[in-house]
Amino acid sequence: QSVLTQPPSVSGTPGQRVTISCSGSSSNIGSNAVKWYQQLPGTAPKLLIYGSSQRPSGVPDRFSGSKSGTSASLAISGLQSEDEAHYYCATWDDSLNGWVFGGGTRLTVL
Amino acid sequence: EVQLLESGGDLAQPGGSLRLSCAVSGFTFSSYAMSWVRQAPGKGLEWVSSITGSGDRGGVTYYADSVKGRFTISRDNSKNTLYLQMNSLRADDTGVYYCARDRLMWELLLDLDCWGQGTLVAVSS
């Protein structure tokens, strides 16, 4: 049972916009920045979003992050087949005194 | 080019020990916080441990509760290498272990922008 709750799966068609939610509490998302990672099959994770809404250089602006209260979201617009991957949110938890990941969301492009 | 190369993964018996290494190149290793993240087969990511850059009291360490007291993270800046000493191994320690670098120098934020390819640890009798 992850401290951060993500839907196990989401799906969309090419060109569509999808969102992935990440729900936490006041001790984690409520008081700390959220990061998002993308993990393509058989590869190491890749940093997509840091600081809840900032994109590292090289990440397309189709990917965007937001945070409100104790929840965060990753939005992917103009969905492409290469976006099929697992997506993970993560943040610091003040109560656990450590970083926590969400359980991950599998994105399927239909 | 930034490179991180893990090694040391192996089959170990419950209660046994392993030491993972992560050799890095292409950046000033001592200035960056480093972390270990693992992934059990078919499961999600789990943060294991982090160590700050040497500019911050020589490397402050952090551990997940699941490994505290059993695992030790360390770094040898002269060898550009990160380590994870794993003792009292359990079956649920099985998985791929990734080392990764934080995005900014001198900051420990778990904004991990560079990752190794991972090394597989299997704990079984």
Q: What percent of chain B has pLDDT over 70?
A: 97
Taking the C-alpha atoms of residue B55 and residue B23, their distance in angstroms, rounded to an integer, is 20
Distance from CA of B44 to the nearest CA of A (A): 6
pLDDT at B105: 83
Which residue on chain B is closest to A50 by alpha carbon?
Answer: B111
Beta strands in chain B (DSSP E): 3-7, 11-12, 18-25, 34-39, 45-51, 61-63, 71-76, 81-86, 95-102, 112-115, 119-123
Q: Which two tokens stand for residue A52?
A: 């809840």
Neighbour-count burial for A81-90, b at 16+ CB within 10 Å, e otherwise: eebebbbbbb
From A86, A93, A70, select the one nearest A24 (Cα to Cα): A70
Taking the C-alpha atoms of residue B45 and residue A24, their distance in angstroms, rounded to an integer, is 16
Query: Which among B37, B45, B113 is the nearest to A56, CB-wise?
Result: B113
B47/A50 touch (CB, cutoff 8 Å), yes or no: no
B-chain residues near A92 (CB < 8 A): 110
pLDDT at B55: 57
A92/B110 touch (CB, cutoff 8 Å), yes or no: yes
Confidence label for B57 from pLDDT (cuts 50, 70 and 90): low
A48-81 residue pLDDT tens:
999 999 999 999 999 999 999 999 999 999 999 9
Find the mean pLDDT for residues B28-55: 94
Q: Which two tokens stand for residue A76?
A: 């992917």
Q: Is B29 on the interface with A (CB under 8 A)?
A: no
- CA B29 → CA A97, A99, B23, B53, B57, distances in Å? 25, 22, 10, 8, 15
Which of B49, B110, B113, B117 to probe the A interface (max A CBs under 10 A)? Answer: B110
B71-113 residue pLDDT tens:
999 999 989 999 999 999 999 999 999 999 999 888 888 899 9
SS3 at position A34: coil
Taking the C-alpha atoms of residue A49 and residue A34, their distance in angstroms, rounded to an integer, is 8
Rounded to whole angstroms, the maximal C-alpha distance in chain B is 42
Distance from CA of B12 to the nearest CA of A (A): 23
B45/A2 touch (CB, cutoff 8 Å), yes or no: no
Rounded to whole angstroms, the maximal C-alpha distance in chain A is 40
Query: Which among B44, B62, B118 is the nearest to A44, CB-wise?
Result: B118
Amino acid found at A105: T
SS3 at position B57: coil
